[in-house]
Amino acid sequence: MSQYSSAQTVSPPPSLPVTVITGASDGIGAALANQLAGRHALVLVARRGDRLQQLADRLKQLGSPVVPIVADVTDRSQVEDMVDTALAQFSRLDVLVNNVGRGITRLPSQLTDTDIDDMMRVNVKSALYGTQAVLPHFQLVGRGHVINVSSMLGRIPSVVPRAAYSAAKHFLNSLTINFRDEVQAEHPGIQFSLVSPGVVHTDFGLNALHGGVDSRVLPLAQSADEVAAIIAQVIDDRRPDVYSRQGMAARVAAHYEALGRDP
């Protein structure tokens, strides 16, 4: 049996799109929920119910029907229950933002099986479970949008102690692209997008497995609001692959071009 709780039934106007955001109690997910308030019915998911409830209460006052769900998205049954609850409450589901993720601070030579398993569970399996759970509904209605929050480190493994996190985000990127290829062959109205931020001003660094530097003290950290605005834009324009800042795509291209140069 899964352990989750949800608020009482709410009935949004049928015209309001329903968006599920995982990792909505803090950081980028909470910022995104704030930005969608009034325009989307929201299903907010995380493990800390008190924070979710506070956010839900505030967003309801801004005109958004909100259902907070306490769930651990590394548990497949809890993710399936999350989707069932969203559909039961709103009778529609338009967007899933797989935003949960976690870093790690450990050199590649020191990585354990447990480290790798944790990175895969939080950064890859959570998104896989969510995507597989919403897919039957999206296929039934012929439309839907999965947005996976990746990272610049999912494109360039440039921070050595984040090796296992980079690898997990590379995995997530491949999975997203191949989901798109598979599903759009029959259902072109279902989109899969990747959003890749650089460093963001959140608790991400402090929450990393084995601790680490606070992301907020790193140079050029973007605000969570800025990244949330990019994700909100992707919900509207359905672009498949987006970075959180101008110039990042060019940096990735330049990185691989330099690697491929003849000595």
Ligand X SMILES: NC(=O)c1ccc[n+]([C@@H]2O[C@H](COP(=O)([O-])OP(=O)(O)OC[C@H]3O[C@@H](n4cnc5c(N)ncnc54)[C@H](OP(=O)(O)O)[C@@H]3O)[C@@H](O)[C@H]2O)c1
- Judge whether 197 and 153 are in contact, CB under 8 Å: no
Candidates 19, 20, 21, 29; binder of ligand X (CB under 6 A) is: 29
99 near ligand X, judged by CB under 6 A: yes
Identify residues 210-249 at the interface with ligand X (CB under 6 A).
215
- DSSP E strands in the chain: the ranges are 18-22, 41-46, 66-70, 95-98, 144-149, 190-196, 241-243
- DSSP lists the bridge partners of residue 20 as 43, 96
Cβ closest to ligand X, residue 141 vs residue 160: 160
Per the listing, tokens 């959180």 go with 244
Distance CA 168, CA 208 (A): 14
Cβ closest to ligand X, residue 16 vs residue 119: 119
203 near ligand X, judged by CB under 6 A: yes
* The one segment of 35-43, 180-188, 201-209, 247-255 that binds ligand X by CB under 6 A: 201-209
Per the listing, tokens 């907010």 go with 44
Candidates 162, 197, 234, 242; binder of ligand X (CB under 6 A) is: 197
Edge to edge, what strands does the sheet with 41-46 contain? 66-70, 41-46, 18-22, 95-98, 144-149, 190-196, 241-243
CB of 196 to ligand X, least distance (A): 7
CB of 110 to ligand X, least distance (A): 21
Distance CA 180, CA 191 (A): 7
CB of 112 to ligand X, least distance (A): 19
* The one segment of 3-11, 12-20, 98-106, 247-255 that binds ligand X by CB under 6 A: 98-106
| Phi/psi at 88 (5° precision) | -65, -35
CB of 244 to ligand X, least distance (A): 8
Identify residues 127-186 at the interface with ligand X (CB under 6 A).
149, 151
Cβ closest to ligand X, residue 191 vs residue 244: 244
Distance CA 246, CA 235 (A): 18
256 assigned to active site? no
- Judge whether 138 and 190 are in contact, CB under 8 Å: yes
Cβ closest to ligand X, residue 16 vs residue 81: 81
Q: Catalytic residue numbers?
A: 165
Binding residues vs ligand X (CB under 6 A): 22-29, 46-48, 51, 72-74, 99-101, 122, 149, 151, 197, 199-200, 202-204, 207, 215
